[in-house]
Structure 1
Amino acid sequence: MNAPHLPRALAPKALRPLRFEQVVIVGKYQAPGARNAVEEIAQFLMAEGCDVSLELQTALNTGITDHPTIDVAGIDCHTQLALVVGGDGTLLGIGRQMARHGVPLVGINQGRLGFITDIPFDSYREVLRPILRGEYQEEARSLMAASVWRDGRCVFEATALNDVVVNRGAVASMIELRVEIDGHFVANQRADGLIIASPTGSTAYALSAGGPLMHPDIGGWVMVPIAPHTLSNRPVVLPSHSEIAMEIVAGRDASASFDMQSFASLLHGDRVVVRRSEHSLRLLHPVGWNYFDTLRRKLHWNEGA
C-alpha cells in the first residue's frame, strides 16, 4: 500500500540554496545577555548550513571559544556576510571599518531605537532564513571622510556614518565658527556647536537639534546648528559632493566628534573638513522593508490612531 501524499498546501516548502555560507557575527559584548544572544544566533546559523566565525573582540570579550575568530582586517577575505547583534552604535562602529571591504551587513537589534539595526531579536529566525538564501533588499549608505587641519597639516582623520559634530567645551559660552562650502564663505556662526549629518545621521543628534529627516536615498548632508545665537540660523541641506569646512574662530575647549565614537580636541584656527567618503556601507533588509515603516514604528507616529 502506497503512503498517502501530503496535500499540496501541507507539503514542506523547499528552501533555496544558501547565498551566504560564510557569516561572521559581531556582538555588543558589553550588554547584559550578549553572550547568550551571540551563541544562540551562531547555533541557528550553523543549523542553516553556514560556516560561522566571530569577530575577534566579540569572541574575546564574551569568552566564546567554540568558533573560529577573525579580525576586521581579515573579514573581506573570509566572509560573505556580517551579522551585527546589538544597537545602532554597534553597527556604526563596525560599519565604518567594514565599508571599505564591501561586505554587506545585517543588523539584529538588541538596543533601544534601532534605525539601522532593524531586525528585532525575537524574530531573527524567520527574517534571517530568507536573507541567507538571497531574498533581501539592499541599500547603500554614504559615509563621510573628515579631517582636522592645524597650521596647514592634517592632525586627525576619521570616517563617520552618522555625523561630524563640532561642540563647545564645558564652559557655558558659545563657540564661533567660520563656515565655508566648497571654498566659499557662508557665515560666521555663533552657537553651542554645529552638526554635519548624513541621511543616516538625520535620525540621530541632528534630529534632536531640530534638523529634518532625510531619506537614505537622498544624496546630501544636513548642516544643523546647536542652540544658535541667531534664530534665523536654520538647518541647511547640502549636496553630498560639497566640501564643508568649519574653522574655530572663538570659544574655549572646543572639540570634534565623529559618530560620537572618536574625538579630537580643537584649538583656535583649526579647521574641520568634511567631504564624501569613497566608500559606502552595504545594508541588507528583509524583503518588504520600508524606511517609512521604520520611522513610524521608532518615532511612534500615529499612536492612538
Structure 2
Amino acid sequence: MKVLLVPNYTRPDALEDAKRLARWLGDQGVEADTLPDKRLEQMDDYDPAGLDLVVSLGGDGTLLRAANVVGYTEVPIVGVSYGHLGFLTSAEPVDLYAVVESALAGRMHVSHRSTLDIEATFLTPEGSCVTRHAFALNEMSISRGGRGDIIEFDVWVTGNHIDKLRGDGFVVSTATGSTGYALAAGGPIVTPEFSGMVCVPVAPHTIMARAFLTSPADVVEVSMSPERPAERCIFADGQPVGEGDTLLHASCRRGPGDVLMLDKSARSFYASVSRVFYGEAGK
C-alpha cells in the first residue's frame, strides 16, 4: 500500500506528526511519501497513480491542497485537523494513528464530494487568446481586481441567459464549497449529497440578484463585458488561474470524478455544521 502525507508546513506540530506517521507507516509495511512545502514547490505536480490513501495534516486549506493533488482520480482523503476551523477534516491529532489505521482497513464512511471542471479563456498581454483548465473541490470565483472597480458580466446556465450583472464578482461552488466563499457571499449551506452547483453573486449592484442552484448536468458560463474592461480575476479554490492575463470567459461544470473524503459517519457533516456555524445548538 502507498500513502501520501500532506502537512501544513507552517504548523510545526503537523510537520512533526507527519514525520512520526511516516515512520509508523513504514513499520507497518506501508510506503509513505510526503508532499513538499508549497512555498518551495510552486506547482503540485505529484502523480497520484498507485496511491491508496492521502492524509491531510492541517486545516481546510491543507485538505484543499490534498484534493488538488488527487484531482478526479478518486483516491480517498482523510483530514486531521491542525487548523483553526477544521470543517472539512474528520479527526483530531490525538486520533491520528487510529484514524489512519481505520482508513487503510476500509472501516471509515466514504463521503462522495462532487468537483468542478473549470475552463477559462484569456487575452494575453501579447494579444493572443489562450484557454486554461483548472480543478476545484470548493469553488470557482470571479472577482474584481486590486484597483477596486466593479466588474460587469453575463451569466448563462446551459445556454439560458440568466442576467447581466454588475458587482464584485460571482461564485460557483460545489456542495462542499457552499460553506466557504459562497456562504460568506450569502449562499445556503448545502448537504454533500447535492451534486449540482451553487451560484452566488458577490455584492451585486441590484437587490434582484439571488443565489440559485443548478442540476448536476448544467454548465455555468460567465462572460466578461467588453464595454467595461475593468481588471478581473478568476480563482479555483482560492488559487489564481491565468495570472497576468485578462479574463474573457469562464465555464464551469461538474468534474468527471468525485473527491472521496473519509469521515466517521454519514452524520459527520451535520455535526460539523452544528459545531462551526451554530455553536453546537441544542447541546
TM-score band, normalised by the shorter chain? 0.7 to 0.9
Q: 1:42 to 1:211 in 2, by over 3 A?
A: same
Counterpart contact for 2:7–2:35, Cα < 8 Å: no
> Structure 1 regions of 5+ residues with no counterpart?
1-20, 62-70
2:100 to 107, 121, 128: 128
Matched, 1:222 2:187: no
Does 2:55 align with 1:76? no
1:243 alignment counterpart: 219
The partner residue of 1:119 within 82, 91, 94 is 91
Structure 2 vs 1, CA of residues 303 and 178 (structure 1 numbering), >3 Å: closer, same or farther? same
Contact 1:99 / 1:282 at 8 angstroms: preserved in 2? no
Pairwise CA distance, 1:287: 4.2
Task: Classify 1:179/1:275 alpha carbon distance in 2 versus 1 (closer, same or farther; 3 Å).
Answer: same
* Matches of 1:83 and 1:56, distance apart in 2: 10
Look up the match of 2:257. 279
Identity of aligned residues (%): 26
User: Can you list the C-alpha shifts for 1:166-213, whole angstroms capped at 9, x where unaligned?
Assistant: 101123331111111112211001111110111010010111111000
Equivalent positions of 1:1-305 (< 5 A) are 21-46=1-26, 49-57=28-36, 72-73=46-47, 75-77=48-50, 79-150=51-122, 154-249=130-225, 250-265=228-243, 267=246, 270-287=248-265, 289-302=267-280
When residues 272 and 261 of structure 1 are mapped into structure 2, their CA distance, relative to the original with a 3 A threshold, is same
What is the distance in 1 between the residues matched to 2:86 and 2:193? 19
User: What is the rounded CA distance, in whole Å, between the counterparts of 2:39 and 2:235 in structure 1?
Assistant: 27
Change (3 A) 1:59 1:159: closer
Q: 1:248 touches 1:267 (CA, 8 Å); kept in 2?
A: no
Q: Distance in 2 between matches of 1:218 and 1:147?
A: 22
* Inter-partner Cα distance in structure 1 for 2:105 and 2:246: 52
Cα offset for 1:264?
Answer: 2.8
Distance in 2, matches of 1:174 and 1:81, equals 43
Q: In structure 2, what residue type is equivalent to 1:72?
A: Y
Q: Which secondary structure does the structure 1 equivalent of 2:170 belong to?
A: strand
Aligned length: 272
Hey, what does 1:3 align to over in structure 2? none
Post-superposition offset of 1:60: 11
Give the letter for the 2:75 counterpart.
V
- Give the aligned residue type for 1:181: V
Q: Distance in 2 between matches of 1:80 and 1:169?
A: 40
On the 8 A contact 2:2/2:53 being kept in 1, the answer is: yes
Q: 1:213 to 1:287 in 2, by over 3 A?
A: closer
State the 1:114 CA deviation.
Answer: 1.5
For 1:263 and 1:129, the matched residues in 2 are separated by 37
Unaligned runs of 5+ in 2: none
Structure 2 counterpart SS, 1:100: coil
CA contact (8 A) 1:25 1:52 kept: no
- Larger radius of gyration between Structure 1 and Structure 2: 1
Contact 1:140 1:280 in 2 (8 A): yes
1:120–1:292 Cα change, 3 Å: same
One-letter amino acid of the counterpart of residue 88, structure 1: D
Q: Which has the higher contact order (CA 8 A, sep 6+)?
A: 2
Which sits farther off after the overlay, 52-61 or 163-172? Answer: 52-61
Q: Distance in 2 between matches of 1:156 and 1:24?
A: 27
TM-aligned CA distance change 1:209 to 1:145, over 3 Å = same
